[in-house]
Amino acid sequence: MIETGGLIRSLSGRRAARNFHTFVINEIGHSIVTGEFPIGSVLASDAVMMETYGVSRTVLREALKTLEAKGLVEARPKVGTRVSPRSRWNFFDPQVLAWHFDAPADPEFHQSLFRSRAALETPMIALAARQRTSEQVRLLKYWCHQMETAGESIEQFGLSCLEIHGVLAETSRDPLLRSVIGVVELTLALALTRDGALSSPDYRAASVSRFQALIAAVEQGDADQAAILFESIRALDRAQVLA
């Protein structure tokens, strides 16, 4: 399982250390999601993949089991391991989502990401506004300040923004709503690197301003205003990704 924030950290060139097992999962999973291994194709034999990735049969088999659990592949007797249809993929798996960052641009999929954010974030922010504590508000303000002072650091800005989403999810006290974090991280990574370059200062300044207003609404317990402001943040990210 990819660590929350791992995709954002990778944008600045910092990769987390991997063991052989996670290395093989990432290599094969990334190749499937980006289309290098097409849907319906049969993966190479165990012997070929063991040589390609430099791992033992045990490591390879465990990696393939993990990918099967994510819905990306299925093993068939006398056929081999076949890439599954997209309809079987677990799109709420953070690792599957992270691999989509390098996939060809797909506006329809990107729209789906924002629909999912809206569906999960709308009840989340209402709960957060009603149940917030002074400590949670302090954390929200702290991370917003970190966004504001990030300068040109894509890592500080992105991770701080992600922390705000995480605190709001925790504040909602609904464990299932936190599943939106992987979706948020992917859309944020896409927004921060539109056209392969660091996002504009105007986008980052607008994000900070809207988060400041959102946090004020949460602190005041104004669920309706918080929902409106959260939608404006999604709209800003959506415009950046889909432009």
What is the rounded CA–CA span in Å between residue 123 and residue 85? Answer: 31
**Final residue of a structural domain among 56, 88, 120:** 88
- CATH number for the domain spanning 160: value is 1.20.120.530
Of 137, 161, 167, 134, the closest CA to residue 149 belongs to: 161
> Which residue has better confidence, 234 or 10?
234
Residue 37 within a domain: yes
Whole-number pLDDT of residue 198: 63
Residues 173, 184: Cα–Cα separation, whole Å: 18
Could you tell me which of 130, 132, 193 has the C-alpha nearest to residue 164?
132
Residues 20 and 132 in one domain: no
- Work out how many domains the chain is built from and give that number: 2
Which string of b and e fits 19-40 if b means at least 16 CB within 10 Å?
ebebbbbbbbbbbbbeeebeee
The CATH number of residue 60's host domain is 1.10.10.10
Under the banding of pLDDT at 50, 70 and 90, the label for residue 128 is very high
Rg (CA), the chain: 20
Q: Is there a single domain that holds both residue 67 and residue 117? A: no
The verdict on 14 and 50 lying in the same domain is: yes
Q: What is the pTM of this model?
A: 0.91
By the 8 A CB rule, do 29 and 95 touch? yes
Answer whether residue 13 shows pLDDT above 80: no
| Of the ranges 72-81, 112-121, 188-197, 200-209, the best mean pLDDT one | 112-121
Kindly tell me if the per-residue pLDDT of 16 is higher than 60: no
Task: Judge if 82 and 153 occupy the same domain.
Answer: no
pLDDT tens by residue, 198-219: 668 899 999 999 999 999 999 9
At residue 197, does pLDDT exceed 60?
A: no
Q: Are residues 72 and 141 in the same domain?
A: no
Q: Are residues 56 and 144 in the same domain?
A: no
Domain boundary among 88, 117, 151: 88
Q: What mean pLDDT do residues 163-192 have? A: 95
Q: Does residue 206 share a domain with residue 154?
A: yes
Domain annotation covers residue 36: yes
Residues with Cβ within 8 Å of 51's Cβ and at least 6 positions away in sequence, in order, are none
Answer yes or no: do 119 and 82 share one domain.
no
CA distance 62 to 129: 43
Query: Which pLDDT score is estimated for 232?
Result: 98
Q: Per residue in 150-169, pLDDT tens?
A: 998 999 999 999 999 999 99
- Inside any domain, residue 83: yes
Reported confidence tier of residue 4, pLDDT bands at 50, 70, 90: confident
At position 207, the amino acid (one-letter code) is S
Q: Where residue 194 falls among pLDDT bands split at 50, 70, 90?
A: confident
One domain, residues 84 and 111 = no
**Residue 31's domain spans which residues?**
6-88
Q: Is residue 121 part of a domain?
A: yes
Whether 85 has a pLDDT exceeding 70, the answer reads yes
Is residue 15 scored above 70 in pLDDT?
Answer: no
Specify whether 135 is located in the same domain as 47: no
Q: Considering 88, 122, 151, which residue would you say is the last residue of a domain?
A: 88
Distance CA 146, CA 191 (A): 18
**pLDDT value for 1:** 47
The reply to whether 127 and 230 lie within a common domain is yes
Which two tokens mark 232? 């404006």
